[in-house]
Structure 1
Amino acid sequence: MNALSDIKADAPLDHRDLAPVLDRLLSKAMHYGAEHADVIATHGRSLSVAVRDKDLEDVDNSEGKDIGLRVIIGARQASVSSSDLSDASLDKLAERAVAMARLAPEDPYCGLADASLLEISPPDLGLFDAHVMSPEMLKDRALEMEATIASVDGVSQAEGCSASWSTSAIYFKTSHGFENGWRSSRHGTGGMAIAERDGHMERDYASEGTRWLEDLPSISSIGMDAATRAVARLGAKQLPSSAMPVIFERRVAGSLLSALINAISGTSIARGTSFLKDAINTPIFASDIEIIDDPLKRRGHASRPWDGEGVKVKRRALIDNGVLTTWLLNSGTAKQLGLKTTGHAMRGIGGPPGVGATNVYMQPGQLSPAVLMAEIETGLLVTDMFGPSLNPNTGDYSVGVSGIKIEGGARAHAVSEVTIAGNLRDMYKSLTPANDLVFDGSMVAPSLRIEGMTLAGE
């Protein structure tokens, strides 16, 4: 038998199988003196196959279970985690957590979520695809990716071609009555192309991931994207330093939303370390801009039926008609700011709830990327970014980029080794979205044109 045939698909994961161990751990925590507690468990299984030169290169097959406990005594809390789910280990885990909580510094904002805010009837968001992928199927997909990339003129090598499948289950329980879980799945494939001309090489990649296999774009389209991007980078030049309009291609435009999410996180606001700390209920974008956070999006990349504290979640317009409408709050940051949680708690295995968003997207505009480009006499289309730098207090932003020079409203030649800079407040105000939004990640935007950025080149 070869390496692939040794790997067998097991029965599907079920979040309900995690409930008994959480019951035992929670009971032990209360026995040792916890006044309040919550427990979380995850069970994950993943399989990925990579190929090189038409042959199997690597197989990664993994499975694991983890459990986390947070205990609260008065205004003190502590969190512990383990991958050992034996009864003896659970007993030691609970005892240690309570002992740690008694010695922890006081945190007046710690505690469980208000029971009246808990989700009692969670929706089915279609996060689990029962389609099981075998190693042989993944190998075939990876080989198809490699063949597609290698078939494109100008490509000298296909590299890192792989296909993957994973599934996971999560269960969460609190001492004040919340108990539920869900299961999810993910299918993915991707590859890198190396293009060569006159002894010069460039590389680029493409990858896609979806909850359901049937939603995954065709392998040929992903492979062609990687290959054509690599070829387009050949002959790259620097540009002279100047100020010019910049278009962030859809693939990289979502990074500007990431900066926004960090800036409106309750943690940043409570610490006073955000350039938007005084911007609530004020316009920070043009009046036609709307940015949504939708945890209830069916089959969404970051969808969830409740937040990391069990709180009911809902779709929110973070930016409505250009106006910042809300901070992102969990129970702790809400208490600190004298507000109510917005259902944005994020809970991991090894610590107390943090703050984070789910499926964030900017609503598309009316114009195509081509039309936005046609209005630019001299500018830059950004297709890749690396090493971003952001001052969270001022919003000053810079990032190394590569892309395509725009001349006379059209693509001219490849550009590399340049840096663009600006202030996010100014960038947000002058931003124009295109109409090419695609929901291919948890934080997405259409192509975005931004006026008057500073480019540092040769």
Structure 2
Amino acid sequence: MTDRLADLAGALLAAARRAGAEAADAIAVEGSATGIDVRAGRLEQAERSEGIEIGLRVLIGHRQACVSASDSSAEILRELAERAVAMARAAPEDPSVGLAAPDQLARAWDLAALELADPAPEPAAATLEDAALRAEAAALAVAGVTRVSAASASHAQRRIHLAATNGFTGGYARSTRSLSVVAIAGDGLAMERDWAAESRVFAPDLPAPEEIGRLAGERAVARLGARKPKTGAVPVLFDERVAGGLIGHLLAAINGSAIANGTSWLRDALGREVLPKGLDLREDPHRPRISGSRPFDGEGLPTRPRDIVRDGILQGWTLDLGTGRRLGLPSTGNAVRGVGSPPSPSVSNVALTQGPKSRDALIAEMGSGLLVTGLIGSAINPTTGDYSRGASGFWIENGEIAHPVNECTLAGNLREMLLRITPANDARAHLSHVVPSLLVEGLTVAGE
């Protein structure tokens, strides 16, 4: 129960005070998870985990230390607080360290409106097993699928409570229901694999297992006969499944930690064009039934919607209190923290402006080029934005899919690539990062 976690977080703060901390914040997390894997029509593995974790950050002046444990006994709380205070006294000074001022704190939020946790009873292991078996059977029913390497169903629920000596106290619960299938088509050196997976906060929102399994099977079969494409500079369409990675690179580059350290390829881009004119990238941490939503951040500050990019122009960085102090800016309410680490900045839910055309329409307009459905490896230079990744997908000829491709490499520079994107209109609204398929003109493809 959240009240139990609130009591535990309060006890941690009291222990920190007694140990000599000038200020402190504490986090208590309780969760459980059940995972089922099936193979060849049989249960292969069942896992169940549950437990409680606690974390304490203590501050002495501008020094801080973080400690964590999975035991909540009174003796452990005392030892944890004493250890944290001793560590803080030996830590180097950091002028950016400190709790939020009381007038900065979130004071009210509407958990019911966010719908972060499914109130239905936790599913039985047999229910999860049945879903995984049905998904596997659907994949195997697709002509050309030779086997399913993995079919998994899981359920997890988590409760969290955060409290601090500045007066903040608050908690909430989350739940997740997931199903995934990895299908294999062909045999030997001609073998190809692909996958399908879905995850929702509320179990009834999850697609039918048969739909997920069928999609995994069809994707695997479509990859049979893949070969290397020719080397050259061509239009590249990043499928919706992988397009979010491009926007993820932008989000990493505007993270306050990278900006404060001077290690971002966008460190000089504030107020400048980073996406084509007409495109917005908006963060909204209050979308109901979305996994990234949150009522307050990891430092107890209120969360709120904001424009990250408006009409192609970068509006601001992603900041917590510490990176904001280093840059002379206020926090954007984007702090996250784990039980054993101090706060750091991170985005919640983001959505990119969608275009007027479908993915198929963009394919028809490409002429010759590459549709990327899978990416492997990564060689991204965080300072320059130079981009290089292994890719697989389909070759486009005369505006139509001609054949599958693999064993090729994409190369370019993220700053230039993002300025040349054309979005489709196929983004899935239930995701935390709502990003459609993205067409990038003139990207280098290295194949044969």
Quick one: distance in 1 between partners of 2:310 and 2:102?
A: 30
Structure 1 position 28, deviation (Å): 1.0
2:207 corresponding residue in structure 1 = 217
Task: Note the 1:133-172 alignment, pairs <5 A.
Answer: 133-172=123-162
2:167 corresponding residue in structure 1 = 177
8 A contact 1:238–1:457 mirrored in 2: yes
Q: Does 1:103 align with 2:93?
A: no
1:115 corresponding residue in structure 2 = 102
Quick one: distance in 2 between partners of 1:121 and 1:101?
A: 32
Structure 1 position 30, deviation (Å): 0.7
1:278 corresponding residue in structure 2 = 268
From 308, 316, 329, the equivalent of 1:339 is 329
Quick one: distance in 1 between partners of 2:327 and 2:432?
A: 27
Quick one: distance in 2 between partners of 1:206 and 1:112?
A: 43
From 107, 117, 120, the equivalent of 1:128 is 117
Quick one: distance in 1 between partners of 2:388 and 2:429?
A: 26
1:318 corresponding residue in structure 2 = 308
Q: Does 1:262 align with 2:262?
A: no
Structure 1 position 439, deviation (Å): 2.9
Quick one: distance in 1 between partners of 2:366 and 2:189?
A: 33
Identity %: 45
Scaled by the length of structure 2, what TM-score is found?
A: 0.98
2:78 maps to amino acid: D
Q: Does 1:40 align with 2:30?
A: no
8 A contact 1:146–1:159 mirrored in 2: no
Structure 1 position 413, deviation (Å): 0.1
Q: Deviations over 1:295-352 (max 9, x none)?
A: 1111112110000101001111111100100100000010100010000111111011
8 A contact 1:208–1:440 mirrored in 2: no
Quick one: distance in 1 between partners of 2:124 and 2:398?
A: 51
* Secondary structure of the corresponding residue to residue 43 of structure 1: strand
Quick one: distance in 2 between partners of 1:455 and 1:440?
A: 32
Structure 1 position 443, deviation (Å): 2.4
From 212, 220, 223, the equivalent of 1:233 is 223
Task: Note the 1:3-152 alignment, pairs <5 A.
Answer: 14-124=1-111, 125-131=114-120, 132-152=122-142
Q: Deviations over 1:88-117 (max 9, x none)?
A: 000000011111111100011000022212
Q: Say how many residue pairs are matched.
A: 445
2:118 maps to amino acid: D
Structure 1 position 188, deviation (Å): 0.5
* Secondary structure of the corresponding residue to residue 358 of structure 1: coil
Gapped runs of 5+ residues in structure 1? Answer: 1-13
Q: Does 1:298 align with 2:288?
A: yes
1:6 corresponding residue in structure 2 = none
Task: Note the 1:387-398 alignment, pairs <5 A.
Answer: 387-398=377-388
Q: Does 1:419 align with 2:409?
A: yes
Quick one: distance in 2 between partners of 1:327 and 1:115?
A: 23
Structure 1 position 441, deviation (Å): 3.2
* Secondary structure of the corresponding residue to residue 65 of structure 1: strand
* Secondary structure of the corresponding residue to residue 193 of structure 1: strand
From 425, 436, 439, the equivalent of 1:446 is 436
* Secondary structure of the corresponding residue to residue 225 of structure 2: coil
8 A contact 2:336–2:345 mirrored in 1: yes
Quick one: distance in 1 between partners of 2:125 and 2:16?
A: 41
1:248 corresponding residue in structure 2 = 238
Once superposed, which parts of structure 1, at least 4 consecutive aligned residues long, lie more than 6 Å away? Answer: none
From 361, 373, 378, the equivalent of 1:383 is 373
Structure 1 position 197, deviation (Å): 6.2
Q: Deviations over 1:141-189 (max 9, x none)?
A: 0110111000000001122111111111000000010001001100000
Quick one: distance in 1 between partners of 2:432 and 2:376?
A: 19
Quick one: distance in 2 between partners of 1:153 and 1:198?
A: 17
2:413 maps to amino acid: N
1:187 maps to amino acid: R
8 A contact 2:233–2:445 mirrored in 1: yes
2:289 maps to amino acid: R
Quick one: distance in 2 between partners of 1:94 and 1:223?
A: 49
Quick one: distance in 2 between partners of 1:297 and 1:383?
A: 27
Structure 1 position 422, deviation (Å): 0.7
